[in-house]
Structures are given as structure tokens and as C-alpha cells.
Amino acid sequence: MRQFVYISTAAHDVSNDDVAKILESSQRNNPDRGITGFLIFNGRNFLQLVEGSEEALLSLMNQLARDSRHSGIVRLEDIPIGTRTCEDWAMTRLRLIDPVNERRADLDAVLPVSLAPSVRRTILNFAALN
């Protein structure tokens, strides 16, 4: 199994409703594909962690590249994993709190404990961007 983390730029008109629809699709489709993970939206950018077989992830990434709700996908992490870190999350949204200086600690507390330290750092750095 592999784990990818990518960031992307949301289309300018993406709203919280759109994010809710993305979550609905993901939760409907991901169980059949054996994909788990989470999605963070900061109002301008997405960060998504996805984990599963390499084949399933590459096929999802191909599909995501054609989704007009975002663009400029950059993969930040691509690591082999023995066990899932988000096994109960078909796809869950992790929310960022205000003020921004409290975000890191807040997110750190909800990120899965078994996340690789380097992956955790990448995600926390994204969360601190304003």
C-alpha cells in the first residue's frame, strides 16, 4: 500500500457546499476502491491524504486531475505503508480553526497517531499557512 499527500488550488468559486459534495462522492466511491484518508480545505487550497493500493491511488489521481473544482495538483508525499493510518475514514474532512496560530496544535491533536512524522509535519505546515 501507498500513501499520497497532495495540495491543489481550489477553483475561485468553490464553497463549503462544494466541499460537502466532494466528501459525499468520496465516501460513496472510496470503500469499493479501498481508499481511505482525509481532506482539508483552507478556503483557497485543498490538502488531501489518500492511502490504498498504488493502482487505486493512481486511478484516483487521474480522475482528480480532470476535476474542474481544483487545479495545480502537487504531490508532497508518496510513501509505502504497511498499515493504514486512516482506516476508519472513507474520507473525512478535517477542519481548520481560527485563529491561525492555534491551528497547528488543534490539527495535531486530531491527526491519526500512526502518521509518519515527516507526513505530519508537511500537513501541519500547510495548516499554518494563512
Ligand X SMILES: Cc1cc2nc3c(=O)[nH]c(=O)nc-3n(C[C@H](O)[C@H](O)[C@H](O)COP(=O)(O)O)c2cc1C
Enumerate binding residues for ligand X (CB under 6 A): 8, 22, 25-26, 28-30, 39, 46, 48, 50, 60, 63-64, 67, 69-70, 91
Nearer to ligand X (CB atom), residue 2 or residue 69: 69
Q: Of 45, 52, 62, which is closest to residue 31 (Cα–Cα)?
A: 52
Q: What's phi and psi for 108, nearest 5 deg?
A: -55, -35
Nearer to ligand X (CB atom), residue 65 or residue 100: 65
* Distance, CA of 41 to CA of 22 (rounded, Å): 11
CB of 72 to ligand X, least distance (A): 11
CB of 101 to ligand X, least distance (A): 26
* Distance, CA of 107 to CA of 18 (rounded, Å): 22
Nearer to ligand X (CB atom), residue 46 or residue 119: 46
- The dihedral built from the CA positions of residue 127, 22, 6 and 66, taken in this order, carries a sign that is negative
Nearer to ligand X (CB atom), residue 70 or residue 103: 70
Q: What is the DSSP letter of 11?
A: P
CB of 29 to ligand X, least distance (A): 3
